[in-house]
Amino acid sequence: MSTAPAIPPAETILVRRARPGDAAAFARVMGHPEVFANLMQLPLPTEEAWRQPLAEPDNANSGDLRLVAEVGGRVVGTSGLHPVARLRRRHAAMLGISVEPGAQGKGVGRALMQAMCDFADGWGQLLRLELTVFTDNHRAIRLYEAFGFRIEGTHRAYALRAGVYEDVHAMARLHPNPPGVAWPTN
């Protein structure tokens, strides 16, 4: 069984776009009970199931952003930003993030959030980022609040987690400085 490496300082965390060859890493990171329990994923994810979403033909331009964070050449975190398809909601995207247990609390989540917010704010045509988070996931809530997310409400008995229907907060972040037009000045 492989173990996560010691995590060096934040500047050595490499964030890059996910590739089809990362399917095994997605399954490994999300296969930890502490990780999938806090997502809306099911237990026992497989490399095969992750191949298709990572191999979408227009992955580079669809606006669906999937990133990984690498430390020392090993993928230790993953994230996704998924724009809503309906025309009147195309300014919104759903966000998800996961870091493997041995690498948590060392800045990997922060590095992935920064990359996703930079993409959304500067390139993604996105005004509103949305997510749900279990109300007892204090680390994630604190990370989201640091990036401008606010709790908008609480869904009761929203999702089954290890045999219990648990509450989640709905959180969202609006673009802090929405894009304008570069009008000529004369």
Which chain residues interact with ligand COA by CB under 6 A? 35, 38-39, 97-99, 104-110, 131, 133, 137-140, 142-143, 146
Q: How many Cβ atoms sit within 10 Å of the Cβ of residue 159?
A: 14
Distances from the Cα of 142 to the Cαs of 56, 75, 96, 109, 137, in angstroms? 32, 23, 15, 11, 9
Q: For residues 126 and 169, which CB has a smaller minimum distance to ligand COA in the complex? A: 169
Cα angle at 113 between 149 and 35, to 5 degrees?
95
Cα angle at 37 between 34 and 38, to 5 degrees?
90
Write out the two tokens for 57. 């033909």
Measured from the CB of residue 149, what is the shortest distance to ligand COA in angstroms? 10
Question: What is the distance between the alpha carbons of residues 109 and 99, in angstroms, rounded to a whole number?
Answer: 7
Measured from the CB of residue 87, what is the shortest distance to ligand COA in angstroms? 27
Measured from the CB of residue 99, what is the shortest distance to ligand COA in angstroms? 4
Measured from the CB of residue 47, what is the shortest distance to ligand COA in angstroms? 19
Position 3: which residue type? Answer: T
Measured from the CB of residue 157, what is the shortest distance to ligand COA in angstroms? 17
Place of tokens 């095994």: 24
Q: Find all residues with CB under 8 Å of 105, minimum gap 6, and list them.
A: 139
Q: For residues 48 and 145, which CB has a smaller minimum distance to ligand COA in the complex? A: 145
Q: For residues 38 and 83, which CB has a smaller minimum distance to ligand COA in the complex? A: 38
Residue of minimal CB distance from ligand COA? Answer: 109
Q: For residues 78 and 124, which CB has a smaller minimum distance to ligand COA in the complex? A: 78
Q: For residues 42 and 181, which CB has a smaller minimum distance to ligand COA in the complex? A: 42
